[in-house]
Amino acid sequence: MSADPHVLAICGSLREHSKTRTALREALDAAAESGATTELLDLREYDLPPVNADDMAAGDADALRERVAAADAVLLGTPNYHGSYAAPLKNALDYCKRDQFGGTTVGLLEVAGGSYPKPALAHLRGVARTLNAWTLPHEVGIPDSHETVGRDGITDPAIERRVRELGEQLVEYAGVDRYPEMAEERGDQPAEATGRA
Ligand SMILES: Cc1cc2nc3c(=O)[nH]c(=O)nc-3n(C[C@H](O)[C@H](O)[C@H](O)COP(=O)(O)O)c2cc1C
């Protein structure tokens, strides 16, 4: 883990009472309790017109890229919209490049109204990998959002535990890209030297 890692969450839902945002807040609370500084980037506060590749500095694009680049770990949260992730998040990601996401630890969370919350996770994972991010194997898909997430928090204890574990792992694995250098600085022996190959 990096010292004092900074964890940034981005929510793909623009709804005022978004269940995705509620779940992201829970994960960020767990990250903060694990020693991180945290930030919820609210896309409603960013002027991000639909991407026009001729004008990648449009609106608040520079500010968005700056926030992502400053994070040691990024949590991407999205509602399931028609079996994939939400357009506002796609638009935000399209303003970013490997310059911002390369080597960054990324956690994924999806919230679905129905009982099948997995497709958006797979789609987001592919995009994050294309941006050279390190995606955490522990992903969270929340089904039946009308029953499992209330106004004030997650109401299903098992889902709440998974979400909090995601927040904790973002802290544990923040800066994972620098682990080899950190091991070298600590003077760790390579595996073959210790017979643990
Ligand atoms: C345009 C749209 C498409 C949706 N498509 C699906 C879907 O394919 N499968 C599903 O389970 N839920 C679907 N939902 C329901 C949302 O995933 C669900 O209400 C979720 O909690 C919304 O997240 P939010 O509260 O963060 O906005 C859809 C909702 C909208 C508005």
In a domain, residue 117? The reply is yes
Can you tell me the distance from the alpha carbon of 108 to that of 24, in angstroms, rounded to the nearest whole number? 10
pLDDT by 10s per residue, the chain, length 197: 667 899 999 999 999 999 999 999 999 999 999 999 999 999 999 999 999 999 999 999 999 999 999 999 999 999 999 999 999 999 999 999 999 999 999 999 999 999 987 899 999 999 999 999 999 999 999 999 999 999 999 999 999 999 999 999 999 999 888 888 888 888 987 666 666 55
Residue 98 belongs to domain with CATH number? 3.40.50.360
Could you tell which of 16, 20, 80, 123 is best to mutate to test the pocket of ligand 1, judged by most ligand atoms within 8 Å of the CB? 80
Q: Is residue 141 part of a domain?
A: yes
Residue with tokens 């926030």, as numbered in its chain: 67
Q: Does some domain include residue 1? A: no
Query: Can you tell me which atom of ligand 1 is nearest the CA of 23?
Result: 26
Judge if the beta carbon of residue 44 lies within 6 A of ligand 1: no
pTM recorded for the entire structure: 0.94
- What's the confidence (pLDDT) of residue 193? 62
Return the best residue to mutate from 17, 76, 81, 124 for the ligand 1 pocket (most ligand atoms within 8 A of CB). 81
120 lies in which domain range? 6-194
3-class state of residue 51 by DSSP: coil
- Up-side HSE of residue 156: CA atoms within 13 Å toward CB? 15
CA of 133 to the centre of ligand 1 (A): 26
12 Cβ closer than 6 Å to some ligand 1 atom:
no
Let me know the angle formed at the C-alpha of 53 by 49 and 55, rounded to the nearest 5 degrees: 65
| Tally of domains in the chain | 1
Please check whether residue 169 lies inside any domain of the structure: yes
Q: What is the pLDDT of residue 182?
A: 82
In a domain, 171, yes or no: yes
